[in-house]
Chains A and B, each alone.
Chain A
Amino acid sequence: MSIVELKNAKKHYALGKTTVEAVKGVSFEIEQGDFISIAGPSGSGKSTILNLIGLIDTATNGDVLINGQNVATLKDREITLLRHETIGFIFQSFNLIPVLTTRENIEFPLLLGKNNKLTKERKEYVDFLIEEVGLADRIRNRPNELSGGQRQRVAIARALVTKPVIVLADEPTANLDSQTGDDILKLMKKINKDLKTTFIFSTHDAKIVELADHIIRLKDGLITENYRAVSKTLPGS
């Protein structure tokens, strides 16, 4: 069973008297452990699709299934719960909580929901993630004391801390210089391999697309290409 499935999903926005058809009916499936790129020019509907998968927006038409569950009928509380349990987010603008330190930001999702105790096991996992993203010497710093790349590393660790099945990243490198962007992508890819976490990221940077092993190309709200890459090796690795 695929972990994400979109069936003829459509998203319309009412813009004054006209309607913008951001996504005009797309269908695709995503398998566990994939490193997926949603590519396409600006305005093609990449963000919209990621928002549908991330359960932070709802489809106007069609179905969105997460782990085989159709989310259309869920209430806000249930959707939030499902999102908390299954999805991690990496944002283009990092979106760290300004008043929390690196460590506290990473721990933050663990403190939400019913099971909000910081057990020894969980703490150790936080330590592991901090090592993994290379921020061991920055745990007490607040976001404004970190560089863009460091902030995105915090965000990656935060997205992973609840051990989600899917991590969504909408243009995670857009606010970073190309070298840092590369590093971030490589880090994501490494975690994808190490932890078997499914990553879905959007980009319009052709170079980054090449890193993906499953590519969905969009144009004007429709899928133009949906294919698995032949080579799964990283350049330079």
Chain B
Amino acid sequence: MGTIFKIALRNLVQHKVKTLIVGALITLGILLTFVGNSLFESAAKGVKRGYSENFTGDVMIMGQSEKAFSLFGSQDFSAGPGGEPIPVIQHYPELVEFIKSYPGVMGFSAQVSGFGILNFDEAGMGFNLLFGVDPETYFKTFHSIKIVEGRMLANGEPGIMMSRKRIEDIKKQNKVSLKVGQEISLEGFSKSGLKIRTVPLVGIYEYIVPTQALEIVSFIDVQTLRALNAMTVGTAKETPIDDATKKLLDSADDFFSDGPVAAAGAAKDKVDLNAILGDKTKRAELATVDSGSWHNLMIRLNDGVSPSQTISELNKVFSEKNWPLKAVGWKEAAGTSAALTDVAQIIFNIVVIILAIVAVIIIINTLVISVMERTAEIGTMRALGAQKPFVRQLFVWETMLLAGFFGLVGIVIGSLSVVALNLIGLPLDNEFLQVLFGSKNLKPELSLVQVVLSIGFTLFIGVVSWIYPVSIALKVSPLKAIASE
């Protein structure tokens, strides 16, 4: 081994230019992967914190359903709002008692998810995701907002709170300036028809952690949202949906496209809502709202308590008790909205893999050339009595030394960069990047996971690179020793 190592190392030093070109490629690749994934890892932590500490909790309990639901309602966008009703939590009072005494629980609060079309002074302002909450427990569990105008919604009081960003967007797109104290009318659709409620705007807030997915969410008193969702006691009477309402419902799909507000507003012009909702007594009758129904129960756990373990324990309990509930983690609770960072990281790594393939091809090519240039040398070694494993080891050592050394350089430079970025911070001015990385000033942390992954990646590049050149080197016959004449 000593001889092989010596020859391999000296060959690398001997062919400096080749070694440096291939080495720089490896260093750059590892550096890119290392820093990139460190950023993403920190981002993922930030996004997780942003969600679990502000909206989803560490564990979320919801009703069982065949369909996919998240904190934001249906994940099946093709169904459109008003499609599949969100399952309510069965055995809610027992569940609350159970969770209260459950070990490791720091706090919890429940929520109802819904939506409504905002109307003010006959002007439509488009769709709005609504979180119906019990403000007292909810904002004690999640310190997610800071009131900038007006006040916090009180328990039991009908009212809505909207984010400043939402108010500004409405101003820009609909030329409507909403003020605290104004009455806002909300139209809700469900299988049982159209509901309208009017509530005052009690407060305007800002999110403490910027979370794009939540800017379109407004907090509303839960009872009003239950009414909009038609979460009534007993079977609701069906309100026939006529064509005009259908049209409005269809326009709801535009909520998910680029111009939601404009489209909904346009639809509004054509439809006389009062005509559809003429019979107010009928509406009142339908609105015997179930005051105990909730969609999601979000639990925050104490530090050091494993969410995944808690989830599996809870699910076991639910199935033992025969409660049609399921506990999920923050990611599933957040639904597609939290997937952005993951998707970006996957895309990043696909790019990295493509680059790695290109790099590996270049390395293989260089090594093949170096094998061919050295056929006489390999032939000589074989003639002098070197067995095939000797030749294999020689080139494996050469490749692994090359990849190992320059990979290590990449990891060291990467680590230093990450430490430096952690100290100075990476300010993100772009809103998209802020959402992507879950922070306005990204401070990646040096993680052992990334170091280990990068070492693995380096070894992988080394191994993948030597297989083919070595197979060529092994085919060199001792006869090649004299072929150079």
Give the interface of A toward B (CB within 8 A). 47, 51, 54-57, 76-77, 80-81, 83-85, 89, 91-93, 95, 97-100, 104, 108-109, 111-113, 158, 162, 170
Chain B nearest CB: distance from A79 CB in Å? 9
Q: How distant is the Cα of A6 from the Cα of B387 in the complex, in angstroms?
A: 25
Contact partner of B385 (CB less than 8 A), chosen from A84, A93, A97, is A84
Chain B interface residue count, CB cutoff 8 Å, equals 26
Residues of chain A contacted by B390 (CB below 8 angstroms):
112
List B367-393 residues whose CB lies under 8 Å from chain A.
376-377, 380-388, 390
Question: Which of B116-124, B218-226, B402-410, B475-483 lies at the interface?
Answer: B475-483
Q: Give B contacts to A, CB under 8 Å.
A: 2-3, 6-7, 10-11, 14, 376-377, 380-388, 390, 477-479, 481-482, 484-485
Number of CB contacts from chain A to chain B under 8 A = 80
**Which B residues are CB-close (under 8 A) to A97?**
7, 377, 380-381
The reply to whether A89 and B384 contact each other, CB–CB distance below 8 Å, is: yes
* B377 contacts across to A, CB distance below 8 A: 95, 97-98
Chain B residues in 8 Å Cβ range of A91: 380, 481-482
Given contacts A51-B479, A76-B388, A97-B7, contact A83 B383 (CB under 8 A): yes
B383 touches A99 (CB 8 A): no
- State whether A89 and B387 are in contact (beta carbons under 8 Å apart), knowing that A95-B376, A97-B7, A111-B3 are contacts in the complex: no
Contact check: which of B11, B376, B385, B482 meets A51 at CB < 8 Å? B482
Shortest beta-carbon distance from A65 to chain B in Å: 19
Interface pair A80/B386, CB less than 8 Å apart: yes
Rounded to whole Å, the gap between the CB of A58 and the closest CB of chain B is: 10
Say whether B384 contacts A112, CB under 8 Å: yes
Contact of B479 among A56, A85, A104 (CB under 8 A): A56
B481 neighbours in A (Cβ, 8 Å):
56, 89, 91, 95
Q: Which residues of chain A are within 8 angstroms of B14 by Cβ–Cβ distance?
A: 98-99
Given contacts A95-B377, A100-B7, 7 further A-B pairs with CB under 8 A are A51-B479, A56-B383, A95-B376, A98-B14, A112-B384, A113-B385, A158-B384
Instruction: Identify the closest chain B residue to A108 (Cβ).
Output: B384
A51-B482, A112-B387 as given contacts; A95 in contact with B380, CB under 8 Å: yes
> In whole angstroms, how far apart are the Cα atoms of A100 and B10 in the complex?
8
Bound complex: CA of A55 vs CA of B385, how far in Å?
A: 11
Q: How many angstroms from the CA of A182 to the CA of B478 in the assembled complex? A: 28
B485 partner residues in chain A, CB cutoff 8 A? 92-93
Are B7 and A57 interface neighbours, CB within 8 A?
A: no
